[in-house]
Amino acid sequence: MHLIWTILIGFVAGLVAKFLTPGRGPSGFFLTAALGIGGSLAATYLGQMLGWYHQGQSAGFIGAVVGAAILLVLYHLVTRPKA
């Protein structure tokens, strides 16, 4: 159940992160959802490694949004046109 909750939070967090991050982000439902889920999972497991969350505890919505926004910024850095 923990993984399903993390995925659901991540999906909504991806939508919020896409709205909050400036620039043209990845388009499409599945790419936005994957970005949010990845951010949520990254925030959860990084937070557990750093001791912010206990084992089995998810990052929550704010942590997931921050994780998704960081992934979105990295996406922009990787896909920007080379001048």
* The two three-digit tokens of residue 35, written as one number: 């970005």
Q: Which two tokens stand for residue 54?
A: 């206990």
The model's pTM:
0.70
Q: How high is the mean pLDDT of the chain? A: 76
For residue 32, give its domain range.
2-79
Tokens at residue 22, please? 């400036």
Provide CB contacts within 8 A for 16, sequence distance 6+: 36, 65, 68
Write out the H or E segment, with its range, that includes residue 36. Answer: helix 29-50
Where residue 61 falls among pLDDT bands split at 50, 70, 90?
confident
pLDDT in tens, 3-35: 777 677 777 887 887 777 766 666 666 777 788
How many domains does one find in the chain?
1
